[in-house]
Chain A
């Protein structure tokens, strides 16, 4: 060991030791940070990661959005197709959201059919879009009983660093707001629909909303926007969806019991954050 450069080798050693400790004892590693009132990536407990939204970059999709929430990167595209409506709902179109967590985004996902995590996320996103009523399905009708628009809203995660649900919901909303549909006319005689490339009109979205996720550690520490490292270590996962008027759309909680006070605190924090996010969209 050279005596002249003593500072550099030990700094590299320390980083390596820290990384090994993080791998072998993740919970203790996190608790050491929590004790100092800070998180491993340097954020305070109630701090959110930087969010950036980029819309309309994909020309093959009718609407698209790319959302980056810290390192979590989700790209969403909307494709519109024409279908026959359901018999009992002749003037309603279809909205089909889906999220895919492919092997590219994280070492914990293997190639193959959607994992349980992806299926649960798809289902939660579907519920959120339906519960909020952001897009009225009646507006997707071309000709009652014969032709309606079907919007396939597909999200793909490119980089998974935790909190995919928030990012995906934001991406879906961004893509839907960016979507334009061509003008469609249904020909009764020939029974088919033709569209015009020249006129495109945007979708009519009734409300804007955003979702905020929290993780609760040891029943008292509430971490907002958990990363991929923190996610498996938290005891309770809590998601609050708030719209742009401050109204609550949905609250989901899983993993354990939390006090009412924690729940109300999270809801009020979510409302504050929702106002900040509105400026992005």
Chain B
């Protein structure tokens, strides 16, 4: 008998259901009429999750990400570790994507978590927390493309860590770019990323002028890839000053 996807821990609906098919789907999505996204659009709101040690909430046009940091707290494993461990977990809400996602964690969640982990791990002074774990939980409430999620997620995680008072070498800012034709578009939406020939996601610490992670996918020449990285880097510097400013303002009012 085939495995029917009955999840005994949740209320179940019918065995199979399909997202609605639209008859007017063939209309080309207008990529040209694109609202220019200024770096000032990304402004994390701290202290949104009172139960956590630190939190940040980032909202851009169509991406909403909430991040909470718990820690440093005791590691579950009994093996001694000289450096602290960073544990990043990403969760999509079922209504965050165009097609409903089952609440089961799958490979996409984990690959996102790995990307964000790589972006922020080199900025945290883990050697100060032996035997401890820092848990970073990210919930994606609305999703407009994986590149945007990784970029905004890394930013939210870094801001939440700063909000929690965990010692870091610098704030991590992250930005994504897509190659559409001959143009480099920063901060692509899902439709733009799908129409592009390649994407680049860059995470860096502008305070130390160092790069923590680069993800490149798709087809592009080395020159274009480097140009993308430069443009992302410039944008990251702007984002960094905005995030630092909002964190300082928030601390000032406390």
Contacts and interface: CB of A to CB of B under 8 A. Distances in A.
Interface in A34-56: none
Given A104-B52, A159-B51, A79 B23 contact: no
A75 interface: yes
Interface string B51-72: 1100000000010101110100
Contacts of A113: 9
Contacts of A75: 93, 141
Interface in B37-81: 48-52, 62, 64, 66-68, 70
B216 interface: no
A111 interface: yes
Given A83-B17, A123-B11, A104 B49 contact: yes
Contacts of A194: 21-23
Given A64-B95, A100-B103, A107 B51 contact: yes
A134 interface: no
B17 A97 contact: no
Contacts of B139: 102, 104, 156, 158
B128 interface: no
A154 B51 contact: no
Contact of B11 (A126, A160, A197): A126
B18 A82 contact: yes
A159 B20 contact: no
B114 to A, nearest CB: 15
A184 interface: yes
Given A152-B13, A152-B100, A78 B95 contact: yes
A77 B142 CA distance: 10
A67 B39 CA distance: 29
B93 A154 contact: yes
Query: Which bucket holds chain B's interface residue count?
Result: 35 or more
A211 interface: no
A79 B93 CA distance: 11
Interface residues of A, number: 56
B144 to A, nearest CB: 8
A160 B95 contact: no
A103 B13 contact: no
A111 B137 contact: yes
Contacts of A82: 17-20
Given A61-B95, A111-B89, A159-B49, A103 B20 contact: no
B17 A81 contact: yes
A81 B18 contact: yes
B70 A107 contact: yes
Contact of B95 (A58, A105, A195): A58
Contacts of A192: 21
B16 A105 contact: no
Contacts of A79: 19, 94-95, 100
Given A98-B10, A150-B13, A158-B139, A182 B22 contact: yes
Contacts of B10: 98, 114, 119, 122
A268 B119 CA distance: 55
Most A CB within 10 A of own CB, among B13, B62, B135: B13
Contacts of B138: 104
Given A107-B51, A122-B10, A159-B48, A154 B94 contact: yes
B198 to A, nearest CB: 25
B70 A83 contact: no
A104 B137 contact: yes
B49 A158 contact: yes
Interface string A151-179: 01010101111000000000000000000
B137 A96 contact: no
B98 interface: yes
A182 B52 CA distance: 39
Nearest to B66: A158
Contacts of B100: 79, 81, 152
21 contacts: A58-B95, A59-B62, A60-B62, A64-B95, A79-B94, A81-B19, A82-B18, A83-B13, A83-B16, A83-B17, A96-B13, A102-B91, A104-B66, A104-B67, A105-B68, A156-B141, A158-B49, A160-B51, A192-B21, A194-B23, A197-B22
Interface of B: 9-14, 16-24, 48-52, 62, 64, 66-68, 70, 89, 91, 93-98, 100, 103, 135, 137-139, 141-143
Rank and list the top 4 A-B pairs by shortest CB-CB distance, nearest first: A77-B95, A83-B17, A96-B13, A104-B137
Given A104-B67, A158-B66, A182-B20, 14 more contacts: A58-B141, A59-B142, A81-B18, A82-B17, A84-B14, A86-B14, A98-B11, A103-B137, A104-B137, A105-B51, A111-B89, A156-B93, A156-B139, A194-B21
